[in-house]
Amino acid sequence: VPPGRVVLRQLSIAAISRRERRPALQLAAESVLTGSLDDYLIDYWHIEQNNWGMAAIPRGLLEDYPEFVDKTGRAATRIQVPELSQELKNGLVLWTLEDAVTVCAWQNGVLTEWQTMPRPNGTTALGRFLHHALPIDVTEILIRAPGDPGSTYGKQIATTCSSIYPSAKIRVLEKPLTESRGRLATLCAFPQFIQEQAFQPASPNRKRGALLSGVLLLVSVAAFLVVQLQDMENQAAEAEHATSLLKIQAARSSRIADRVSRLMAEVRETRSLNQNSIVALLDDLSAAMPSTIRLAGALQIDRRGILSLDGVSDEEQDIGSFVRQLGRHPRVKKVRLQSVTAAQQDQEKDQGIRFRVRVQLERPLWNAPAESVES
């Protein structure tokens, strides 16, 4: 948010419980704003006792946010307001704007006093305010003149401050706050805006990206299953070879005969897995899966016909739609949604609502035959 565009007000409310505090602050904010509360993004910070600070950002300043998300592929985690950035723990921060200067007084990392004065009033009004209106001892002063290198007005302000606070350390910064090193803490993060954006429909570009990610994930799962099937075939061939060697020595002892029987049962169980059934099941899952859902782990199948899969969805309602689609499938006996968790990770493909679904088929994909004992 550009400097000078946020509305700062001080609110006083009665001593009430934390549950009743938010409605009381909203009622007090409505009385000091010229427009409706819906026209602003509002957040609050505590000053002292029953005094609170209010920061209101006109929503018109954030009209370009959807374009920013489509262009960068990143969502905002907070809103940075220059006047609320905690650059000093104790001292004064002066913002020189095109037509005014804003004085912000900080105590113990909290903005306690602020005042905006028009430039035509000159440095005289600023000097009177600093000399008579501030009840704090100032040891450090930061003057910010963004986008105005060699600012004459900034130097005049520095001269005025040094005459009133001769022992204070004064710095003049001309770079914008966004070019400062490190990430500055802020009194207000405006979580209301972040929550609102989480429920906004995805843009066409993001939908296409999610669809592409889902297709790539399905391809990777299919490749994983193929590799596993090949490995199982290799294991079956090795087991057959070991079984043939054991058959030659079966007559020597009953212990060797029992071992041959166990290996034969393992071979039959390994070969009973039908590759076509797994591929067909994977195709059925992809057909029932909305474009906004993507798998987030390996597909787990056991011999009882129970499947477990983890997924990530951009929209919570798509999870319910996916579960209902599975429940109507003729091969499915029972579907249960085990967990739903909202998460946001560093990587884009892991952002969204994670969930786990447990599916019980009408019939198992394969049946392991009973073990037979050969003499």
- 175 φ, ψ (degrees, to nearest 5): -80, 150
Enter the DSSP assignment of 108: T
Question: Could you give the CA distance from residue 190 to residue 202 in angstroms, rounded to a whole number?
Answer: 21
Q: What is the pLDDT of residues 196-217, one digit of tens each?
A: 776 555 556 666 776 788 888 8
Contact 80, 6 (CB under 8 A): no
Question: Could you give the CA distance from residue 210 to residue 204 in angstroms, rounded to a whole number?
Answer: 10
Contact 42, 192 (CB under 8 A): yes
Q: Sign (positive/negative) of CA torsion 104, 106, 109, 110?
A: negative
Question: Could you give the CA distance from residue 367 to residue 279 in angstroms, rounded to a whole number?
Answer: 17
Contact 303, 364 (CB under 8 A): yes
Residue 375 banded pLDDT, cuts 50, 70, 90: very low
Q: In this predicted structure, what is the pLDDT of residue 314?
A: 84
Q: What is the mean pLDDT of the chain?
A: 80
Question: Could you give the CA distance from residue 203 to residue 43 in angstroms, rounded to a whole number?
Answer: 27
Distant-in-sequence, close-in-space partners of 311: CB < 8 Å, separation ≥ 6: 289, 293, 294, 295, 296, 319, 322, 354, 355, 356, 357
Angle among Cα 131, 137, 142 to the nearest 5 degrees reads 80
Q: In this predicted structure, what is the pLDDT of residue 262?
A: 80
Strands (E) in the chain, as ranges, are: 7-12, 40-48, 51-58, 91-96, 100-107, 110-118, 140-144, 169-173, 293-295, 300-301, 306-313, 332-343, 352-361
What's the full length of the chain, in residues?
375
Angle among Cα 262, 264, 267 to the nearest 5 degrees reads 115
Q: What is the pLDDT of residues 263-316, one digit of tens each?
A: 777 666 655 555 566 667 777 777 777 888 887 776 677 767 788 888 888 888
CA separation, residue 238 to residues 228, 235, 275 (Å): 15, 5, 19
Residue with tokens 């209106």: 133
Contact 292, 279 (CB under 8 A): no
Question: Could you give the CA distance from residue 375 to residue 363 in angstroms, rounded to a whole number?
Answer: 33
Q: Which residues pair with 301 in a beta bridge?
A: 307
- The residue among 78 and 168 whose pLDDT is bigger is 168
CB neighbourhood size of 252 (10 A): 9
Q: What are the structural domains, with CATH classification, of the chain?
A: 1-73 (3.30.420.380), 86-184 (3.30.420.40), 204-361 (3.30.1360.100)
pLDDT higher than threshold 90 for residue 369? no
| CB burial of residue 183 (10 Å; 0-12, 13-18, 19+) | exposed
pLDDT higher than threshold 60 for residue 349? no
Residue 190 banded pLDDT, cuts 50, 70, 90: confident
Q: Sign (positive/negative) of CA torsion 93, 97, 102, 108?
A: negative
Q: What is the pLDDT of residues 85-96, one digit of tens each?
A: 888 888 999 988
Helix, strand or coil, per DSSP, at residue 35 = coil
CB neighbourhood size of 272 (10 A): 14
Task: For residue 352, give the nearest of 181, 185, 160, 213 by alpha carbon.
Answer: 213
CB neighbourhood size of 187 (10 A): 20
Question: Could you give the CA distance from residue 85 to residue 24 in angstroms, rounded to a whole number?
Answer: 25
